[in-house]
Chains A and B, each alone.
Chain A
Amino acid sequence: MKLSLSNPGLDDRILSHQQLDKLEEDEAGDRPKWDNKAQYMLSCVGFCVGLGNVWRFPYLCQSHGGGAFMIPFLILLVLEGIPLLHLEFAIGQRLRAGSMGVWSAIHPYLAGIGIASMCISLTVSLYYNTIIAWIMWYFFNSFQDPLPWSQCPMDASLTGFVSECERSSPVDYFWYRKTLNTTPAIEEDGGLQWWILLCHICAWSVLYICTIRGIETTGKAVYVTSTLPYVVLTIFLIRGLTLKGSLSGIKFLFTPDLTELAKPTTWLDAGAQVFYSFSLAFGGLISFSSYNSVHNNCEQDAVIISIINGLTAVYAATVIYTIIGFRATERFDNCLSGNILALLNAFDMAEGSITDNNYNQVVQHLNETHPEVIQGIDLKTCDLTTFLSEGVEGTGLAFIVFTEAITKMPLSPLWSVLFFIMLFCLGLSSMFGNIEGVLVPVQDLKVFPKTLPKEAITGVICALCCLVGLIFVLGSGNYWLSLFDTYGASIALLVVAFCEMISVVYIYGIDRFNNDIKFMIGHRPNFFWQASWRVISPLIMFFILVFYLVTKVSEKLLYKAWDPESEKFPTLEEKLYPDWIYVIIFILAGIPSLAIPFLAIWKCLQKKRRNKTNLEKQTLSAFVRCWTNSFHQNSFIAPKS
């Protein structure tokens, strides 16, 4: 059942195997190369392992039945992640071009896939670097003791703490007021926040210096940015395990709840997490592998990187939950001692008469004897599981929960510095891949004149992105960022990945692809790869895409706002997006997805028009030749042959 669409002219657009070998021997060609295999592997690992491994996976794991979540995650990693990764590596290495070049080479009508990848990479680059700017802000603020988010500041009259801080918490206040200075709604922009603007410019400058000469500089930078996070995670693991309550955190994370496996949302979330965590369909991985030598073993690379990515996610989740367990235990202890103190004060009992062990019995006894006093005290319910399951993800985890936990550890500035360096490295190494996914198509599209050096092109792109990214530096920047994150990179990526698979398997041809892989690594891909490329992975992608569309379209467009005036403060208030946001969402999600069919149709029409004009030109030139021949025959001038 080898379905393959006819693709004439493919051989003219791509290098043949002999030509590739010759290119390899002569070391000709102006394509940049990796200095060694380690740089390539570290760049790919850095691109795949990003902030999502640290702050999305632990939350998913904990909210979908702990250890049981590993099962759908690992299954989908093997069936969806590894095949797609191998496909991107192999096609990049074979066709030796970035995403634009690869898809245009396979078929001119598929140029839309390259354009879509470029648009998605551009969208993600814009907001991802703002997160790095926030990380840098926290990093800069970590060089003081006590940390600025450990205490509330005093209000203007110096009689008490700032009311917004009192009602919420010092970490919330520092994040929402001192960092973001967030407005209550997305319509109010609040102006540029100068301190974040400085960090924003700093983040783009650091990115520029690391990507200034393409992989020549990023190849050196990844030695640090890809390895440092593992070192810091290990340090945190050791520190975390010595804290009280860490083991209860780990236990909570991994306790399996097998009933979650029956829910489809668990599988959907696992599939989406595997897909996004691999940074597929951005075009960056295709670029990276195109700088390899032709006979590099891309199959082995794909498997190794997938395993590293999966293991890193589990490792990071463990480390995060040791610290969360510590924080939850700390909160629980404080809650309990607060209650005990209240009871001691109310009944004038000696200290030590109520302990953690006999607390419940004592409360019960006192409730029977003096119920009205107990009512008057207003005891809080202290439940460790509730504190542990205050599962937070994303920026909330890093900037609120974790920073609070750090303030409770001795030597807090040190842990804060280490933590934010780790986040910075994780984010920066992902940005290298994103920028690669923007730069290479821009160069392929020949937007800039060839005389312009690479440094200048990179500089222009970084400067433009920095300017457009100013939208995230506004007071409402946080809301814009979550809008871009939710709609910019989700649906379009799924569409592009699905089209990539279909293009390689059915338009490029699975037979040709198998032969290419045999030429590159020495043996044909085995049955597992065939089955997954042809049937399993496209089906999984299709299901995830359909489910995603259905859930996104049916849900109301809400966002969570920090509004000190709201009744439920400090809980975030859910507000409706204004109507003009729909236009923005359409631009973010629709344009990349629609670029694929739109460009295919446009190229088709262009070809038809060219054929028509060619036909006209041919008839015209034949006529002219005929006429000049007859003219010359009559005038004795030797015809030019």
Chain B
Amino acid sequence: MLDKILFLLCLASALADERCMPDTPHGFQVRLSIKTALGDEAYVWNENEMFLFRASLAFAMRNHMNGQQFEVSNIIVCNETMRVSFWFIVTSPLDTSQLIDQENVEAAIRQSRNRINSAFLLTDKTLEFVDILPTLATLYTHPTPPWLIVFGVVMGAVSAGIIIMLVSSVVQKKRKTNRKPQDEDDDEETRVKTVENGDAHDGIHNMSFSEDERFTKM
């Protein structure tokens, strides 16, 4: 019910200015997706919201074209639908019969896009100016790629580990070889002893000290 009244009111106001119509070469179409953006906290689109829109657009025009005092009355809106979409045109504050051309309007909107969006708690996607492409968000480029930092950390840890392992095995081996000459010296001494016990008989075993059994066990 409320929607129908809204519609008729808008129609009435739009009929006031025939220059504002769909596909006008001097204006743009606007589409709002309030429910998509805000869900449960969506506000109802009514005359007051439309007033805010016209005011923010006037603000954008003032910002862009320094000096010209745009008023709310300079923003003419028409063809409002239930989608919440409408067309608008901008008249010059000095001469209401003159329309501001599309390039200026587009430039003004681009400049103050963020401010207009935040007035309505919407984003570039949900407050859509048809045919005005939003500026693309660039990926933040880091001075040093983060992957190189992580790679450096991992590679450093692994290299340190390898060096430690290799050094420790070399140290272990050195310790073993140091012990071995000691053992070899002991062996030599025992051998010398057996030879001394054997006296001058070369090649004759001293049976009491030998280990291999030349005779079978009884």
Whether A209 and B165, one on each chain, are in contact in the complex, defined by CB atoms closer than 8 angstroms, is yes
Write the chain A residue with the least CB distance to B37.
A351
Tell me, rounded to whole Å, the shortest Cβ–Cβ distance linking B151 to chain A.
Answer: 5
Partner of A453 from the list B81, B146, B169 (CB cut-off 8 Å) is B169
A205 with B83, Cβ < 8 A, contacts A137-B147, A213-B165 known: no
Whether A202 and B146, one on each chain, are in contact in the complex, defined by CB atoms closer than 8 angstroms, is no
Bound CA span A350–B165, Å: 71
By a CB distance below 8 angstroms, the chain A residues around B82 are 348-350
Whether A351 and B158, one on each chain, are in contact in the complex, defined by CB atoms closer than 8 angstroms, is no
Whether A153 and B158, one on each chain, are in contact in the complex, defined by CB atoms closer than 8 angstroms, is no
Q: Interface stretch among A21-29, A154-162, A510-518?
A: A154-162
Whether A212 and B35, one on each chain, are in contact in the complex, defined by CB atoms closer than 8 angstroms, is no
Partner of A153 from the list B31, B139, B159 (CB cut-off 8 Å) is B139
Write the chain A residue with the least CB distance to B162.
A209
A206 with B151, Cβ < 8 A, contacts A154-B139, A453-B169 known: no
Whether B136 and A351, one on each chain, are in contact in the complex, defined by CB atoms closer than 8 angstroms, is no
Asked if A267 is an interface residue, CB under 8 A from chain B, the answer is no
Q: Interface size for chain B: under 10, 10 to 19, 20 to 34, or 35 or more residues?
A: 20 to 34
A143 with B146, Cβ < 8 A, contacts A212-B162, A348-B83, A455-B165 known: yes
Whether A455 and B169, one on each chain, are in contact in the complex, defined by CB atoms closer than 8 angstroms, is yes
Write the chain B residue with the least CB distance to A353.
B82
Which 3 pairs show the lowest CB-CB distances between chains A and B? A140-B147, A348-B81, A350-B82
A205 with B136, Cβ < 8 A, contacts A348-B85, A453-B169 known: no
Q: Interface size for chain A: under 10, 10 to 19, 20 to 34, or 35 or more residues?
A: 35 or more
Asked if A151 is an interface residue, CB under 8 A from chain B, the answer is yes
Whether B33 and A205, one on each chain, are in contact in the complex, defined by CB atoms closer than 8 angstroms, is no
Residue-by-residue, is A189-209 near B (CB-CB < 8 Å gives 1, otherwise 0)? 000000100110110011011
Bound CA span A202–B147, Å: 13
Write the chain A residue with the least CB distance to B85.
A348
Asked if B161 is an interface residue, CB under 8 A from chain A, the answer is yes
Asked if B204 is an interface residue, CB under 8 A from chain A, the answer is no
Whether A209 and B161, one on each chain, are in contact in the complex, defined by CB atoms closer than 8 angstroms, is yes
Whether B35 and A351, one on each chain, are in contact in the complex, defined by CB atoms closer than 8 angstroms, is yes
Whether A212 and B139, one on each chain, are in contact in the complex, defined by CB atoms closer than 8 angstroms, is no
Tell me, rounded to whole Å, the shortest Cβ–Cβ distance linking B186 to chain A.
Answer: 22
Asked if B173 is an interface residue, CB under 8 A from chain A, the answer is yes
Asked if B155 is an interface residue, CB under 8 A from chain A, the answer is yes
Whether A208 and B162, one on each chain, are in contact in the complex, defined by CB atoms closer than 8 angstroms, is yes
Whether B83 and A143, one on each chain, are in contact in the complex, defined by CB atoms closer than 8 angstroms, is no
By a CB distance below 8 angstroms, the chain A residues around B173 are 453
Whether A351 and B139, one on each chain, are in contact in the complex, defined by CB atoms closer than 8 angstroms, is no
Bound CA span A199–B82, Å: 57
Whether B169 and A213, one on each chain, are in contact in the complex, defined by CB atoms closer than 8 angstroms, is yes
B31, B146, B173 — most chain A CB neighbours (10 Å): B146
Bound CA span A344–B84, Å: 10
Bound CA span A217–B166, Å: 13
Residue-by-residue, is B95-110 near A (CB-CB < 8 Å gives 1, otherwise 0)? 0000000000000000
Which residues of chain A from 195 to 250 have a CB within 8 Å of any chain B CB? Answer: 195, 198-199, 201-202, 205-206, 208-209, 212-213, 217
Whether A199 and B151, one on each chain, are in contact in the complex, defined by CB atoms closer than 8 angstroms, is yes
Whether A144 and B154, one on each chain, are in contact in the complex, defined by CB atoms closer than 8 angstroms, is no
Could you list 13 examples of A-B contacts with CB < 8 Å?
A158-B138, A160-B136, A205-B158, A209-B161, A209-B165, A212-B162, A212-B166, A341-B36, A348-B85, A351-B33, A351-B36, A352-B35, A455-B169
Asked if B214 is an interface residue, CB under 8 A from chain A, the answer is no
Tell me, rounded to whole Å, the shortest Cβ–Cβ distance linking B46 to chain A.
Answer: 14
Whether B138 and A202, one on each chain, are in contact in the complex, defined by CB atoms closer than 8 angstroms, is no
Whether A205 and B159, one on each chain, are in contact in the complex, defined by CB atoms closer than 8 angstroms, is yes
Bound CA span A213–B166, Å: 10
Write the chain A residue with the least CB distance to B42.
A351
Which residues of chain A from 323 to 377 have a CB within 8 Å of any chain B CB? Answer: 341, 344-345, 348-352
A136, A201, A344 — most chain B CB neighbours (10 Å): A344
Bound CA span A344–B158, Å: 58
Asked if B142 is an interface residue, CB under 8 A from chain A, the answer is yes
Whether B83 and A344, one on each chain, are in contact in the complex, defined by CB atoms closer than 8 angstroms, is yes
Which residues of chain A from 116 to 150 have a CB within 8 Å of any chain B CB? Answer: 136-137, 139-141, 143-144, 146, 148
Asked if B49 is an interface residue, CB under 8 A from chain A, the answer is no
Write the chain B residue with the least CB distance to A148.
B139
Bound CA span A424–B173, Å: 33
Bound CA span A531–B154, Å: 51
Which residues of chain A from 5 to 41 have a CB within 8 Å of any chain B CB? Answer: none
Which residues of chain B from 164 to 208 have a CB within 8 Å of any chain A CB? Answer: 165-166, 169, 173
Bound CA span A596–B44, Å: 81
